Amino acid sequence: MGCFWGAESLYGGTRGVLRTTVGYAGGTKDQPTYRNLGDHTEVLEIDYDPTVISYQQLLHIFWNNHEYGLTTVIKRQYMSLILYHDDEQKQIAELSKAKEGKRRTPEVITTEIAPKRNFYPAEDYHQKYRLQGHRDLSETLNLNSKLLRTSYVATKLNGYLVGVGGVEQFKTEVDTMGLTPSQKEYCYHYIEKNEGQGLYC
C-alpha cells in the first residue's frame, strides 16, 4: 500500500478494526530494521472483529488505497502485498485480486499474495505515528512500548486524529475508549479539522 504510517491510520479509524501494528514481513532477512530492511516490505498487521467487518471489506479498503497505485512497479519496501493466515484467506484474497484485475483491465495489478510467516514489529517511533505526533495527548495516555503496538485506544485515535471515520463515527465509539473530558475535546477538535484530508506520507 506504500508507507505504513498512512495505512495504519486508515485501518485504525475503520469500524471493526481492534488493533494494528506496523512492521516488516514478506522477506527472508532475520530481524530486519527500518535502516536494514533486507528483502522485507513495510506491512500492517490487523486484528479485527469479523462480526463488524469482514476480510472481504478489509480487502476492499486495501484495493482502493494505494499510495503509488496498484499497477506501478515500485521498490520492495513499499510494494503491494497481501499476507494470508490460512487457506480461506488465501482463496478470498486471490478471488478479490482477480475481480479487481478485471475491473482494471488492461492494466496489470502488481500485488503479490503470499503466506504470512515471520512478522517483525517496527521500531516504536513508527507505531501509531500520527498519534505520537500529538505529544500532549499521547503523553496523557501513558503509552509504553507494548501499548503502542497493542492498545485499542491508540489504534482508534491514530486514525481518528487524522480524520478517518469522521466526527459522527467517533461519537458512536468514543465511550468505549475511557477518555477524559479534556482528551475528548482535544480529539473532537482535530477530527473536525482533518476529516476528509489525505493520509499519504
Verify whether residue 3 is a known catalytic residue. Answer: yes
CA distance 77 to 46: 19
Domain 4-194 matching CATH 3.40.50.2300: the answer reads: no
- Could you read off the pLDDT of 7-52 as tens digits, one per residue? 999 999 999 999 999 999 999 999 999 999 999 999 999 999 999 9
CA 112-102-164 angle, 5° bins: 65
Q: Show the cell assigned to 181.
A: 473530558
Q: Show the cell assigned to 50.
A: 469479523
* pTM greater than the 0.85 cutoff: yes
Instruction: Give 200's pLDDT tier (boundaries 50, 70, 90).
Output: low
Assign residue 173 a region (left: φ > 0; alpha: ψ between -120 and 50; beta: otherwise): alpha
Q: Show the cell assigned to 76.
A: 520492495
Q: Which sequence spans correspond to the domains of the chain?
A: 4-194
**Catalytic residue of the set 3, 7, 37, 122:** 3
Contact call for residues 170 and 18 (beta carbons, < 8 A): no
- Could you read off the pLDDT of 61-105 as tens digits, one per residue? 999 998 777 888 889 999 999 999 999 999 999 999 999 999 988
